[in-house]
Amino acid sequence: MTNRPLSGLKVLEMGQLLAGPFCGAMLAGFGAEVIKIEKPKTGDPLRNWRKIYKGTSLWWLSMGRNKKSITLDLNKPKGQQIAKRLAAKVDILLENFKPGTLEKWGMGYEQLKAVNPGIIMVRVSGWGQTGPYASRPGYANVCEGVGGLRYTTGYPDRPPVRTGTSIGDTLAGLHAALGALIAVYHRDVKGGSGQVVDVAIYEAVFNMMESMLAEYDKLGFVRERTGAKLDGIVPTSTYPTKDGKFIIIGGNGDSIYRRLMYAIGRPDLAEHPEMQNNAGRVKHEAEIDEAITQWTLTQTYEEAYAKMIEAEVPCGPVYSIADIVKDPQYNARGMFETVEIEPGDAVKIPAVVPFLSETPGGTDWIGPKLGEHNEEIYLEFLGLTKDEYEDLIAEGVI
């Protein structure tokens, strides 16, 4: 669609799997023309990750949405030359290779800047482009540990755990998308130059670690794992109900706390002089949580939820995806897009967010077939002759 806010922005996506491609998916969802380079014959490994349907990963349908897939062997000198020619015609080059790879291919920033002075190079890697760890492999699971997330995730009497998704990669992808658009604004609105956006996965994770650094620096305090609770904020946790379900309750605002205590029949705790602010409640955390737990165990989830809503206390369930697809809020907000895999075969994928009132994002097409846009990009966009194009196919370059 031509009215999408990033229409006209051209992005060359190099790399594979998650962090870089998630950034590309965000930009493509809002109208950027994202040309994705994939390895001939095999393509991005994500095409074959997790659950497969009719030969293709269901994950790929949304990760590859609105992108144009071309094949190109970047290990061949001719493939590197073609990639450099493509980079000369785009606004942004997005890559998540090991640092030094593009330089080895003759595509470092200074080299590309010589042929495309305004180019913005968005580089996503585990450890960043500099520093003693730069050349190390850097998968998100390791970077989540180094960034501090794993240490604080789980229960205090058990080993650290990971979240159920590749959160480090997607956090890095979001930082990359933000950095790309900041650089575009600087170049196109402020009249600045192109530049390098250097995103490290561990730094994207560390950026989410709230006040931990200042707390340690000034007080020597190390935040530990607290399970379903949140250290230093009371009450906020997940509580069991008598029908075997769980309800999340956040009663940590001062007035909310009092409404919560009255709702569970504990006016003594509501009016307790030491529990009128969060600092005081932290001292009585065990007593408060025990009171809430004893109450929720007398309620079904629906009963507890209704009473919390009536008392205007933030609360909610612990949803599986099966619960999510039935939820009225998700459906009212249009959080599921139904797209065709092929005629007569449709599937739900997540909608493009955030929602913009005048220029919303959306799905124009799902993750394309491998090399689906080769002719369009090589013949029309790059301007190769038909003979040159056929030669590249014969040589296995595309």
Positions annotated as catalytic residues are 169
- Return d(Cα 29, Cα 7) in angstroms, integer: 10
- Return d(Cα 17, Cα 363) in angstroms, integer: 20
| Torsions phi, psi for 195 (to 5 deg) | -165, 175
Beta bridge partners of 345: 342
| C-alpha torsion 147→148→151→154, nearest 10 | -90
